[in-house]
Chains A and B, each alone.
Chain A
Amino acid sequence: EVQLVESGGGLVKPGGSLRLSCAASGFTFSRYSMSWVRQAPGKGLEWVSSISSSSTYIYHADSVKGRFTISRDNAKNSLYLQMNSLRAEDTAVYYCARSPWELLFHFDLWGRGTLVTVSS
């Protein structure tokens, strides 16, 4: 089955760190650009970060630049998001998403999401 499964979410204090993972299966992960998209409770969708198939190109939203780092391990079919210096406004469901074409960041496959809560 073609799917993405996120993990690593949880409750963290402001200023803390968390690492999200996304496990891909059912398709050739190494051929696709991948991204993280988040959704704060009751709010809309916000693009966070994207990475090309071979990790050559990496992009981050201004709201997370310098704090979050996207990476991938094609041998493990996995995508990651290292989140440092977390703030209350980072509280959201974080989705892993696949782009059907390299470097065209729209998303044809999504995971179910993992909830990150930043609170003291």
Chain B
Amino acid sequence: DIQVTQSPSTLSASVGDRVTIICRASQSISSWLAWYQQKPGKAPKLLIYKASSLESGVPSRFGGSGSGTEFTLTISSLQPDDFATYYCQHYSGYSPSFGQGTRVEIK
């Protein structure tokens, strides 16, 4: 099965910072990658699909890039509402899996 690995596990940043989270797949997944934001006690929220497509209603400060085995989620200017945990997820084939998560904390 394909595994996805995120880095870093935790990220400390300030409001206004540019933030980048990396997701690596154990083999090529083309562009079949999604990113989610999750806040404590809440369900995940889809941010990005097909590696770089912004989900409707998601602020444009969120961006995704990459293909094959390496992907990035970038928040161009971190806002107070963005402190949360972020997960990547591959959906290549019929056994999807999630990264372990990146917690974005206030510095």
B-chain residues with CB within 8 Å of residue A50 when the two chains form the complex: 94, 96
For the complex, is A14 an interface residue (Cβ under 8 Å from B)?
Answer: no
B-chain residues with CB within 8 Å of residue A113 when the two chains form the complex: 43
Q: Which residues of B from 82 to 107 have beta carbons under 8 Å from A?
A: 87, 89, 91, 94-101
Partner of B89, one of A62, A100, A106: A106
Report how many residues on chain A are interfacial, defined by Cβ distance under 8 Å: 22
Cβ-defined contact, B32 with A104, below 8 A: yes
Q: Which residues of B from 8 to 23 have beta carbons under 8 Å from A?
A: none
- Name B's A-contacting residues (CB within 8 A): 1, 32, 34, 36, 38, 42-46, 49, 55, 87, 89, 91, 94-101
- In angstroms, Cα B99 to Cα A108, docked, is 17
Cβ-defined contact, B98 with A106, below 8 A: no
Cβ-defined contact, A44 with B100, below 8 A: yes
Nearest Cβ distance between residue B10 and chain A, in whole angstroms? 13
